[in-house]
């Protein structure tokens, strides 16, 4: 059904109040969730229903465990992953502003960070090149294996530009885990070639895929990139990775910010990226292709349209469940 | 034909003498070329025949144009790309040793850097995480386009480990440009789905592909990664990128080195990566898969076998042409 944006914001805030978050936490969480929802990304308000995102009863204050001029490692103290990663981005940007480079990792969280393009976009908006990566428990098989050992291991790049940032936000799996859950909820089939069942046979049944494994995107190269992310958002940040005992409890995040001025003139860089983007957009198109879209532009276009209309389409069940959670906040 | 390793080394050195390189330059160039040749990678001695790798008549000394404690930009001064990138890696490692992080870019070269896994491997061997990327003139179409605007844009990651480094060396194209040239020389067809002709129709004819475009690997995600590399080894290092006038003359390279100790205990990191690798290798296998191979392990296995035998198979024409070049060195 068609939902006015204001109402969506109010119900999102209500659900977050129900889960016990304070005003500043609700601001960050809403921003990350609605970034996804308004861009047609499946990491949005679906996260507020079902098990939802209650605060972990064992949570404590997010704090810095290890720090240098260029780096920090955060103990997420079982707070929500989005809050912890947002904190990591703040700190990485602070360090990059002072030194040209900042890298901040976090561990000891066990919740999704949502659409990490949001965080890479924040870094690019500060005129730095951003790399953001997240780990989570195994649901993806390495190339040649049937075993769901790797996380869906998203990685996002933010590239600042005079003409609007380029933001690539991609899981290294052929489909996001939320995509499989969405298909299961909707009773829909998965696309071909994205999953195997427990015996290693190709499947389009979401339930069988959840018993088996999601495949990496792009064959061997995608699997190898997934492994790189497993390291960058695992052992490099003090989080667990495939094979460790605490893999379901100790997810990791990484945020890296790099000022182009470490290497070249910052203004020239921003202009050259804008020119490169314009060159690619103007390239001759394959038959049937209406427009060449650079990373992030499909989502940007959806968001622009949604904001112009002040309303967006939300699946009936999802909306009703969100309203029910929000109602419980009183 | 079967060529003893010693003879291969001698002819490689001879060809490099013919092209006018001094002893230290020949050491670096041989090492990069034979790294590829001995690992079954198509970036090896084929580069010494045909147009070969003569020193540019306009070349001058490689020098630092811009430098900070964490970074440098090199003017490659039209020296060979492999020599310039090797210099960049030396400098990045020096900075990472002092500060935990080093990033060095180069521009003003116009020759291939070969198998960039060699350089990422050097960084990993120094117990740093390495990222290496290279740009070159357009031969790959962005997603939805027919136009060969992007380079094959390889990126390599080196991850140090107690159990031997993991080295991922991949072009972001569905096939390396040298792979297309090899197929053309051998009169062979390309694999399906890696190239289009000038009209945008799928083709398996290497000559038609060279008139048209190579495709990115992995659909939209691979194309987006190619664009990221175009920026990292283009505008970020003062090199050209798609759409610029000097794209055929001003290729770029980037080398980044990061000490895991910026974030976590270095020894623990090395052990955890080794354990992760062991976990993945021991995963249950798809039917028909004999061994799960992690990034770099296929090449490692080939090299180990070649070195054990002290000889390797080289295609007749290629060997005869190499011998002809070496003979001209006198």
Nearest CB to B272 within list A200, A241, A293: A241
**Given strand A101-109, what is the order of strands in its sheet?**
A63-67, A71-75, A101-109, A251-258, A129-134, A154-159, A166-171
The answer to whether B52 touches B325, Cβ cutoff 8 Å, is: yes
pLDDT (0 to 100) of residue B134 = 97
The band of A184, judged by pLDDT with boundaries at 50, 70 and 90, is: very high
Q: What is the pLDDT of residue B177?
A: 87
Contact between B200 and A287 using a beta-carbon 8 Å cutoff:
yes
pLDDT exceeds cutoff 80 at A330? no
- Give the closest of A219, A243, A291 to B275, CB-based: A243
HSE (side-chain half, CA atoms, 13 Å) at A21: 25
Determine phi and psi for B127, rounding to 5 degrees: 65, 25
Closest CA to A64 of A52, A75, A53: A75
Q: Which of residues 44-73 of B touch A (CB under 8 A)?
A: 66, 68, 70-73
Average pLDDT over residues B135-160: 96
CB spacing of B235 vs A264 below 8 angstroms? yes
The per-residue pLDDT for A178 is 83
Q: Is the pLDDT of residue A146 over 90?
A: yes
**Average pLDDT of span A6-16:** 98
In whole angstroms, give the CA distance from residue A148 to residue B90.
39
Q: Which residue of A has its CA nearest to B105?
A: A263
**How is residue A97 written in tokens?**
């502003």
Mean pLDDT across B87-91: 98
- CA–CA gap between residue B13 and residue B7 (Å, rounded): 10
- Taking only the tens place, the pLDDT of each residue in A88-108 is 999 999 999 999 999 999 999
Measured in angstroms, the CA of A325 and the nearest CA of chain B are apart by 35
Q: What is the complex's ipTM, to 2 decimals?
A: 0.97
Which chain A residues contact residue B292 at CB under 8 A? 142-145
List of domains in chain B: 1-54+297-330 (1.10.1530.10), 60-171+226-262 (3.30.1370.60), 174-215 (3.30.60.50)
Contact A146 B286 (CB under 8 A): yes
How many other C-beta atoms can be found within 10 angstroms of the C-beta atom of residue B330?
7
- Over 90: is that where the pLDDT of B6 sits? yes
Is B330 a residue whose pLDDT tops 80?
Answer: no
User: How far is B150 from B232, CA to CA, in rounded Å?
Assistant: 13
Distance set, CA B174 to CA A40, A77, A190, B178 (Å): 28, 42, 24, 12
- What confidence score (pLDDT) does residue B178 get? 82
Residues in chain B with CB shorter than 8 Å from the CB of A101 are 70, 101, 103
The contacts of residue B273 (CB under 8 Å, 6+ apart) are: A231, A235, B159, B160, B161, B162, B163, B166
Cβ of A260 within 8 Å of Cβ of B71? The answer is: no
The nearest alpha carbon in chain A to B72 belongs to A263
Residue B327: per-residue pLDDT: 96
Contact with chain B for residue A227, Cβ under 8 A: yes
Cβ-based contacts of A157 with chain B (< 8 Å): 228
Q: What percent of chain A has pLDDT over 90?
A: 94
A166, A262, A269 member nearest B71 (Cβ): A262
| Neighboring chain A residues of B144 at a CB cutoff of 8 Å | 285-286, 289, 291-293
Q: Which of A100, A103, A273 sits opposite B263 (nearest CB)?
A: A103
What's residue A177's pLDDT?
87
CB pair distance less than 8 Å for B276 and A166: no
pLDDT range class, residue B179, cuts 50, 70, 90: confident
Instruction: Please indicate whether, in this complex, the C-beta atoms of A280 and B142 are within 8 angstroms of each other.
Output: yes
CB B12 within 8 A of CB B34: yes
Residue B16 confidence (pLDDT): 97
H-helix segments, B153-296: 177-186, 206-211, 219-232, 266-281
Is A124 touching B (CB cutoff 8 A)? Answer: no
Could you tell me if A92 and A104 are in contact, meaning their C-beta atoms sit under 8 angstroms apart?
A: yes
| Residue range A239-248: mean pLDDT, rounded | 95
pLDDT tens column, A275-304? 999 999 999 999 999 999 999 999 999 999
Q: Is B192 on the interface with A (CB under 8 A)?
A: no
Average pLDDT over residues A212-232: 97
- Name which of B135, B112, B125 is nearest B47 in CA terms: B112
pTM: 0.97
Yes or no, beta carbons of A73 and B260 under 8 Å apart:
no
Mutation test of the interface with chain A: which of B194, B263, B272, choosing the one with the most A Cβ atoms within 10 A? B263
Q: A170 CA to chain B: closest CA distance, Å? A: 7
Portion 290-319 of A in contact with B at CB < 8 A: 291-295
Mean pLDDT of all residues belonging to chain A: 96
Residue A116 Ramachandran class (φ > 0 left, ψ -120 to 50 alpha, else beta) = alpha
Q: Give contacts of B141 with chain A, Cβ < 8 Å.
A: 283
Decide if B280 and A149 are in contact by the 8 Å CB cutoff: yes
Q: Does A9 touch chain B (CB under 8 A)?
A: no
- The pair of structure tokens assigned to B111 is 């020759």
CB contact under 8 A, A280 and B227: yes
Sheet harboring B140-141: ordered strands across? Answer: B148-150, B140-141, B213-214, B195-196
Q: Which of B146, B273, B284 sits opposite A231 (nearest CB)?
A: B273
pLDDT of B182: 85
CB–CB of A234 and B276 under 8 A? yes
Mutation pick from B91, B144, B229, B288 vs chain A, by most beta carbons of A within 10 Å, is B144
Residues 71-100 of A with CB under 8 A from B: 71-73, 99-100
pLDDT band for B171, please (50, 70, 90 cuts). very high
| Euclidean distance between CA atoms B117 and B171, whole angstroms | 11
Distance CA B285, CA B272 (A): 22
Q: What angle do CA B153, B125, A223 make, to 5 degrees?
A: 45
Chain A contacts in chain B segment 265-284 (CB below 8 A): 268-269, 272-273, 275-276, 278-280, 283-284
Enumerate the residues of chain A whose CB falls inside 8 A of the CB of residue B200.
Answer: 284, 286-287
Separation between Cα atoms, residue B75 and residue B203, nearest integer Å: 39
Distance of CA A321 to the CA centre of its chain: 23
What is the structure's pLDDT at A99?
98
B72-84: average pLDDT: 98
Does the CB of B288 have a partner CB in chain A at under 8 Å? no
């Amino acid at each position: 059904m068609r939902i006015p944006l204001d109402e969506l914001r109010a119900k999102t805030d209500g659900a977050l109040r129900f889960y016990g978050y304070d005003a500043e936490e609700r601001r960050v969480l809403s921003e990350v969730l609605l970034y996804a929802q308004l861009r047609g990304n499946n990491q949005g308000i679906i996260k507020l229903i079902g098990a939802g995102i209650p605060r972990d009863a064992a949570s404590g204050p997010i704090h810095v465990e290890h720090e240098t001029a260029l780096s920090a490692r955060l103990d997420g103290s079982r707070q929500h992953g989005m809050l912890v990663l947002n904190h990591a981005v703040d700190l990485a940007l602070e360090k990059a502003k002072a030194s040209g480079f900042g890298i901040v990792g976090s561990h000891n969280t066990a919740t999704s960070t949502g659409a990490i393009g949001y965080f890479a976009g924040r870094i690019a908006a500060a005129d730095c090149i951003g790399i953001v990566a997240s780990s989570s428990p195994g649901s993806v098989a390495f190339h040649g294996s049937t075993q769901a050992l790797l996380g869906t291991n998203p990685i996002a790049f933010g590239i600042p530009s005079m003409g609007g940032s380029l933001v690539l936000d991609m899981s290294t799996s052929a489909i996001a885990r939320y995509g499989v859950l969405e298909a299961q909820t909707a009773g829909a089939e998965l696309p071909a070639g994205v999953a195997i069942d427990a015996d290693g046979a190709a499947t389009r049944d979401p339930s069988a895929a959840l018993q088996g494994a999601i495949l990496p995107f792009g064959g061997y190269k995608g699997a190898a990139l997934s492994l790189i992310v497993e390291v960058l958002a695992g052992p490099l940040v003090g989080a667990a990775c495939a094979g460790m005992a605490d893999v379901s409890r100790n997810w990791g995040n990484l945020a890296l910010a790099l000022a182009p001025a470490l290497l070249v003139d910052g203004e020239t860089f921003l202009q050259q990226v804008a020119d490169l983007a314009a060159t690619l957009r103007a390239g001759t198109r394959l038959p049937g292709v209406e427009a060449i879209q650079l990373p992030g532009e499909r989502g940007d276009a959806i968001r622009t349209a949604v904001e112009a209309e002040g309303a967006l389409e939300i699946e009936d069940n999802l909306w009703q469940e969100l309203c029910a959670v929000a109602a419980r906040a009183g």
